[in-house]
Amino acid sequence: MKYGNTFAVWRDNAPAWPAYSLHKFVRGLGDGTLPHDAFLHYLKQDYVFLIHFSRAWALAITKADTVEEMRLAAGTVNGLINEEIALHIKTCAEAGIDEATLFATQERQENLAYTRYVLDAGHSGDLLDLLAALAPCVMGYGEIGSHLAATKTSDSYAEWINTYASAEYQQVCHDVGVLIDGAIARRLGNDPMASPRWAALQARFAMATQLEIGFWDMGLNP
């Protein structure tokens, strides 16, 4: 599935992309070598992460210029806070961790740095700044999910993998790609890479990619 032209350029110009999408944590999900306590620790942190990412997508609604942008951002908020998070709640419940405990999880610095970076991109900038910071998360998990579904050698983490490899999630990535391409064209015209803003947007994408690596590293250290 194609995630849009802008994403393809941002991804190919983010030097840390392979270190994110092929991280040791990701390989451990695919071959089943990721320790279960590291996975649960990651899910607890990721529950808090999703709460803040819902806030960031809600901010995208207020930063939108068109009703299409608003609808897509609103749909993502709903998908995050009511659907994606359900996987975390269910998996943790099976390990005896209830949602109140999840909500009270003490945030690790790597988690805090990433989510607040994204929220600040949106607060201090416009929708493009926010989308450049959000894109590695959305599309990265789409790419990781479909790569792992095709290459996995263990079913230990199949439910996690299937969530992001699913046709529904791949459609989300496609739709966000369309949103980003449209938002870029609307604001920067049809030669966006010639815009004086391009380098800063690329840098935001690269920074968020780096922060994703930090999140995986944190996941390996319960």
* Binding stretches for ligand VIB (CB under 6 A): 46, 49-50, 53, 76, 79-80, 84, 137-138, 141, 172, 212, 215
Of all residues in the shown chain, the one whose CB is closest to ligand VIB is 137
We find the least distance from the C-beta atom of residue 169 to ligand VIB, in angstroms, to be 7
Whichever of 32 and 79 has its CB closer to ligand VIB, that residue is 79
- What's CA 165's distance to the chain center, in Å? 14
We find the least distance from the C-beta atom of residue 32 to ligand VIB, in angstroms, to be 20
Cα angle, residue 213 at apex, residues 203 and 20 outer, rounded to 5°: 85
Whichever of 170 and 202 has its CB closer to ligand VIB, that residue is 170
We find the least distance from the C-beta atom of residue 95 to ligand VIB, in angstroms, to be 18
Question: Which tokens sit at 119?
Answer: 């929220």
We find the least distance from the C-beta atom of residue 80 to ligand VIB, in angstroms, to be 5
Q: Where are the alpha helices (DSSP H) in the chain?
A: 5-12, 17-21, 24-31, 36-63, 67-78, 85-94, 99-103, 109-124, 127-151, 158-165, 167-188, 198-219
Whichever of 8 and 81 has its CB closer to ligand VIB, that residue is 81
Instruction: Give the dihedral sign, CA 21/192/134/83.
Output: negative
Whichever of 46 and 129 has its CB closer to ligand VIB, that residue is 46
Phi/psi for 45 (5° steps) reads -65, -40
